[in-house]
Amino acid sequence: MSIRDELPVFPRHVGIIMDGNGRWAKKRGLPRSAGHVAGAKVFKKIALYAAEIGIPCLTVYAFSTENWSRPPEEVSALMRLFKTYLQDAIDNFSDRDICIRFLGDSSVFPKELRELETYIARNSAGRKGMTLNIAMNYGGRAEITRAVRSLAQAVEAGNLRPDDIDEAMISNHLYTAGEPDPDLIIRPSGEKRISNFLLWQSAYAEFVYNDILWPDYTTKDLDDALREYARRSRRFGGVK
């Protein structure tokens, strides 16, 4: 029996902050890049499993706007890893009913990486199964700023009145426009903070934290998080 059949409620959108790659490598006396390679393999396994059990939308935090401050050699290694795994996605996700979208400002990435993102997003756009959002060079504050700037430009051009701006309009100017807000956000690694991830969208998300470093994360850990979510009483500011 699938975990989805087991549970009385199931999230429409799950977010995962893939954290702990560097610490996983350090514990083993390996370079941080080895942790990122291990973490990327887990991402693939968890993404395919999420699609298999019927999670409609999955968003993974791969690279934040703040990650550029890491040592240059680590950033370079990440760019090479992204390229490898995007090429792998063309081969291994092409026969899956998964629509892949990229959240964040890709303009600063190397040209080859940008072209891979464009190719994957374009060729998977018509798929009706799970939507997989990969947040790369993403920051929640930057996303909201981008949305507000776009609305301000529309007001300046006379195409929009300030009084017309509401929460729904702002949501429709975010990278996740047209998608449900996350019901569940998972953060492995023992850290208990949101780290600029889906700030607007996570207003009423349930959070599950645990002490598992991301490269050690398994499908059983995801099942356990889904069970924990099913036990929560979601009130959205009201009373039940």
Angle between helices 72-92 and 32-53 (to 10 degrees): 30
Which residues are bridge partners to 187 per DSSP? 209
Angle between helices 72-92 and 111-124 (to 10 degrees): 30
Catalytic residue among 67, 123, 196, 210: 67
Catalytic residue among 19, 21, 137, 181: 19
Name the amino acid, one letter, at 212: I
The yes-or-no answer on residue 92 being catalytic is no
> In terms of Cα–Cα distance, which of 90, 159, 104, 95 is closest to 133?
104
The yes-or-no answer on residue 21 being catalytic is no
User: CA 190 from chain center: how many Å?
Assistant: 18
Active site residues: 19, 67
